[in-house]
Amino acid sequence: MGWLSLAIWTPIAFGVICLLLGREGQQNLVRWFALVGSLVALAVTVPVVSGFRAGTAAMQFVERYNWVDRFHIHYHLGVDGLSMWFVPLTAFITVIVVISAWEVITDRVHQYMGAFLILSGLMVGVFSSLDGILFYTFFEATLIPMYLIIGIWGGPNKIYAAFKFFLYTLLGSLLTLVALIYLYIASNGSFDIATWHQLKLGGTAQTLIFFAFLAAFAVKVPMWPVHTWLPDVHVEAPTGGSAVLAAIMLKLGAYGFLRFSLPIAPDAAREWAWLMITFSIVAVVYVGLVAMVQKDMKKLVAYSSVAHMGFVTLGFFIFNDLGMAGGIVQMIAHGFVSAAMFLSIGVLYDRVHSRDIAAYGGVVNKMPRFAAFALLFAMANCGLPGTAGFVGEWMVILAAVKFNFWIGLLSATALIFGAAYTLWMYKRVYLGPVGNHHVEELTDINGREFLIMALLAVATLYMGLYPKPFTDVMDASVANLLQHVAQSKLR
């Protein structure tokens, strides 16, 4: 069994055992077991990182077995420079989420831990699939645990949010299924993604396939204008659910663009790039403005996620090396930063049970250590140099300016808006005199919360100060992809 299979099935196996351990009075056992499971799952991704050879665009850690002979579906795994970092990222975020839920979740702990562990394995599966149906299976399967997480441990309006999440993302994916089957037939009976990359397709077919994939991935990313589900879901989801959703699940959509839309339908991608760039800029500018007027902290960070993901899609569709690499770096960085932002809000919510900015004020007076971490993460969200948030945004803006000055200018406004809404929120919540008696009674973060904040802070700073390991890995694959997209596939 290869390392990728282990990375997928280890957390799933631990998750299933967690589910079976469900009895009252065994909650502590479940928590420790889940922690051990998530750490083991992280440990098995280490060989993937250390054994990865940069400088080649070929797939590594490849495993291929016959799965469903009737339709030539294979259990085909592999990672390249585009997808490699998401495997450890997923495992890392899972560890963080398990620790963050330690005292917070007291109801049905075994199901909570089980759901997150299984979800973690499924997401690793999405990033490492090289077969269309295998990708689709993992992609859709992630909906089930996430639906249950939102619906069982969510906020007051959780039912609406859970249904909206499930049905919105399902609709897009179902259209993608039709596209996958069409490609199967057009390639004479193959679901192999690499085969599809080489497949010659006519203009209409490419356009239809591009839009079918767009339906699924645009909703997942989420791109403007199909982003409305994200704020609703983030507000209602439990802290861990929001963290996983923002850090990893959104990246599933962006990864889909890289693995499917661009290489399979390059002519359509080039033809419709203007549309994607427009949507991305609107997301960056308009949604940035929307974020500024939010009164709910989680909603604000949700809209800020949409704006950051706008950078990612912008980077992909301007078709140059720096932009695409910047988009992928932004995906990884946003993983750390958004998880950190949501966990910070979670820390406050666990104490005061309110997400309203107005319910806070002067938190720094009572929780100085926490406020320090929160400041770091807020700065990373703005894109301060030295933090992870800067690297990706800088690369994309540079690439955008090279592409078209005005696009670059508009995208650079993200830095302004980002600073505006994040720092204004930080000021209203953390700075100034103590706002009300809720804040008066706050206690600073305990050891467990300090641990997760510290881990994320280290990751954010490391990536911000020394992003080379991240960018080195993706150079060859990005160059390969762009070269592929530049060639026309029309017959």
Give how far the C-alpha of residue 187 lies from the chain's centroid of Cα atoms, to the nearest Å: 31
Q: Minimum distance from CB of 220 to other proteins (Å)?
A: 15
Q: Kindly tell me which of 107 and 433 has the beta carbon lying closer to other proteins.
A: 107
Neighbours of 160 (CB within 10 A): 14
Paired with 296 in beta bridges are: 356
Judged by CB, which is closer to other proteins: 260, or 311?
A: 260
Q: How far is CA 95 from the centre of its chain?
A: 15
Q: Is 431 left (phi over 0), alpha (psi -120 to 50) or beta?
A: beta
CB of 154 to other proteins, least distance (A): 8
User: What is the smallest separation between the CB atom of 178 and other proteins, expressed in angstroms?
Assistant: 6
Nearest CB to other proteins, comparing residues 150 and 328: 150
384 DSSP 8-state letter: -
Helix segments in 69-157, DSSP class H: 86-100, 109-128, 132-141, 143-153
Closest by CA to 216, choosing from 124, 142, 323, 318, is 142
Q: Which is nearer to other proteins, 175 or 194 (CB)?
A: 175
Judged by beta carbon, residue 153 or residue 430, the one nearer other proteins is 153
Taking the complex as a whole, the smallest distance from the CB of residue 68 to other proteins amounts, in Å, to 5
For residue 54, list its beta bridge partners. Answer: none
Peptide linkage before 145 cis (omega within 30 of 0): no
Rounded CA-CA distance 314/316 in Å is 5
Whether 351 contacts 420, CB under 8 Å: no
Minimum Å gap between C-beta 335 and other proteins is 25
Q: How far apart are CA 170 and CA 229, in angstroms?
A: 12
Residue 170 CB, nearest approach to other proteins (Å): 6
Nearer to other proteins by Cβ, of 66 and 483: the residue is 66
User: Which residues sit at the interface with other proteins, rule CB under 8 A?
Assistant: 22, 66-71, 133, 136-138, 140-141, 143-144, 147-148, 151-152, 158-159, 162-163, 166-167, 170-171, 174-175, 177-178, 181-182, 184-185
Instruction: Give the nearest distance from C-beta 265 to other proteins in angstroms.
Output: 17
Which residue number, 181 or 292, has a Cβ lying nearer to other proteins?
181
Query: Distance (Å, rounded) from C-alpha 232 to C-alpha 421?
Result: 19
Residue with tokens 């706050």: 442
